[in-house]
């Protein structure tokens, strides 16, 4: 994993991302081994330029019929995306996802504090909880009860200061990357109203997304995790501008509809 080890002040330019991508034959391998460079290319719409040399594994294998057949084995989008990312990627690219997922369960769980605490109690770290039960974690984050749910966890014992949060923020190039990489410290910075201060070094958005555009993007997805993976730059804009709760409501309305 040598591709993503750059100092906090070093920037992933287009040329740097292209050079890094040349080390890999597949997008999946690049994403896994050099996530920061991959995300930078994704956020700035450089993927076609960076990945032109790569092999496309699913292009011929995943016809529309094959994608529908693959999706039919799963009851929700997240399960399908994790078990068969090639089919999911093909359906997403070709515009077949809605048809492939028409049979899937979309009803959202209405999490109460007792359920959230019970969910969190199965994990020793915030990161593990976020990774394995993203819906519960997202609900706790929206309700502002992360710290209450995570008192037993190792991560929750850290006492973040302005300096420590600034140091952590300097290790990330976008708010969304920080949010997903270290949710505990991000939540602490948000609670202390320090996000604008410690995120000043982060790259400006390639496009200034409006609230309406963020809401429209969110409403086309059925989970926060799916939205983040598909549109990290828009997710980042919603986080920065304080529209994330309204966007999540739009996702929930789409899922329940």
Residue 257: which pLDDT band, with cuts at 50, 70 and 90?
very low
Query: For position 230, what pLDDT does the model report?
Result: 72
Query: For position 95, what pLDDT does the model report?
Result: 82
The residue ranking higher by pLDDT, 78 or 237, is 237
The residue ranking higher by pLDDT, 223 or 16, is 16
Contact (CB, 8 A) for 70 and 41: no
Summarised one tens digit per residue, pLDDT across range 21-31 is: 999 988 888 88
What residues contact 182, with CB distance under 8 A and at least 6 apart? Answer: 127, 168
Max mean pLDDT among 5-14, 116-125, 140-149, 238-247 falls in 116-125
Q: Which pair of structure tokens corresponds to residue 221? A: 């997805």
Query: For position 15, what pLDDT does the model report?
Result: 92
Summarised one tens digit per residue, pLDDT across range 9-23 is: 457 889 999 999 999
User: For residues 237 and 219, what is the distance between their CA atoms, to the nearest angstrom?
Assistant: 15
Residue ranges per domain, the chain?
14-50, 64-100, 211-256
Residue 163: count of CB within 10 angstroms of its CB: 9
Query: For position 203, what pLDDT does the model report?
Result: 62
User: For residues 241 and 244, what is the distance between their CA atoms, to the nearest angstrom?
Assistant: 8
């Amino acid at each position: 994993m040598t591709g993503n080890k750059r100092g906090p002040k070093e920037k992933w330019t287009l040329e740097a991302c292209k050079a890094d991508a040349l080390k890999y034959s597949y997008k999946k391998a690049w994403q896994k081994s050099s996530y920061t460079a991959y995300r930078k290319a994704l956020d700035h719409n450089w993927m076609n330029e960076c990945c032109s040399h790569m092999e496309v594994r699913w292009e011929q294998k995943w016809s529309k019929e094959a994608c529908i057949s693959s999706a039919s084995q799963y009851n929700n989008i997240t399960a399908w995306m994790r078990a068969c990312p090639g089919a999911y990627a093909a359906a997403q690219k070709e515009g077949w996802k809605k048809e492939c997922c028409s049979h899937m369960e979309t009803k959202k769980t209405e999490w109460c504090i007792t359920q959230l605490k019970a969910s969190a109690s199965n994990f020793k770290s915030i990161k593990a909880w976020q990774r394995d039960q993203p819906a519960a974690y997202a609900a706790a984050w929206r309700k502002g009860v992360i710290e209450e749910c995570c008192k037993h966890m190792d991560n929750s014992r850290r006492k973040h200061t302005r300096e420590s949060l600034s140091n952590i923020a300097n290790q990330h190039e976008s708010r969304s990357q920080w949010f997903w990489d270290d949710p505990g410290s991000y939540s602490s910075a948000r609670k202390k109203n320090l996000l604008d201060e410690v995120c000043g070094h982060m790259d400006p958005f390639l496009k200034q997304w409006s609230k309406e555009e963020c809401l429209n993007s969110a409403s086309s997805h059925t989970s926060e995790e799916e939205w983040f993976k598909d549109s990290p730059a828009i997710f980042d804009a919603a986080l920065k501008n304080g529209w994330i709760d309204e966007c999540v409501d739009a996702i929930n309305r789409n899922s329940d509809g």
